[in-house]
Chain A
Amino acid sequence: SQQGEEDPQALSIQEGENATMNCSYKTSINNLQWYRQNSGRGLVHLILIRSNEREKHSGRLRVTLDTSKKSSSLLITASRAADTASYFCATGSGVQKLVFGQGTRLTINP
């Protein structure tokens, strides 16, 4: 798989449930970031976790990072209809660019 691959590719849950998305990567990283993209819109930065961190919280978001497994997860608790979007992980490895994954399409059903 390529750097920053998310799974599942699509996730559909009921409002109020928790949503978990995973990201795997192949090379060493300095940080991993999660972005949200509403349909046809720009990318909104959600959270950045550095390689020496294991877990980070921001509101209803919880991100974990396991550098030994080269994987990260994004948990959205108590999901809302407004959380419907695509979610991307992006890895940074010391140079300027971010390498994005294919994304997970999350649908929250009312």
Chain B
Amino acid sequence: EPEVTQTPSHQVTQMGQEVILRCVPISNHLYFYWYRQILGQKVEFLVSFYNNEISEKSEIFDDQFSVERPDGSNFTLKIRSTKLEDSAMYFCASSAQGGSYNEQFFGPGTRLTVL
């Protein structure tokens, strides 16, 4: 069964460093998403991406964040200068169709720890 994959599973970085989280969405999906979950809290939407551009973003997704689809398979989330409060589990998701009518398939997540 096709699935969303994410690398690395765990990333430890120093405050102020740049990190890139990688995702490979399901191959025939066209819509891509990033969410995050701070430990013990709810899953929060960060950004959605379609047709090589951001279609929606949340207040969390400020200038420190960027997304990219550098090739036909990868979808990345970059945090330019990490802060302690960026420590969280980051989930990538993809869906075949857009809007929230269709189920979003989630990857296993990358646990980001900022020291």
Contact = CB atoms under 8 A, between A and B. Distances in A.
A33 B103 contact: yes
A92 B101 CA distance: 7
A45 B100 contact: no
Nearest to B40: A102
Contact of B104 (A30, A45, A99, A103): A45
A90 B95 CA distance: 15
A30 B100 contact: yes
B81 to A, nearest CB: 25
Interface residues of A, number: 28
Contact of B106 (A42, A101, A102): A42
Interface string A33-63: 1010000111111001010000000000000
Contact of B55 (A31, A90, A96): A96
A102 to B, nearest CB: 5
B87 to A, nearest CB: 14
A45 B103 contact: yes
A39 B4 CA distance: 18
Contact of B31 (A44, A90, A96, A102): A96
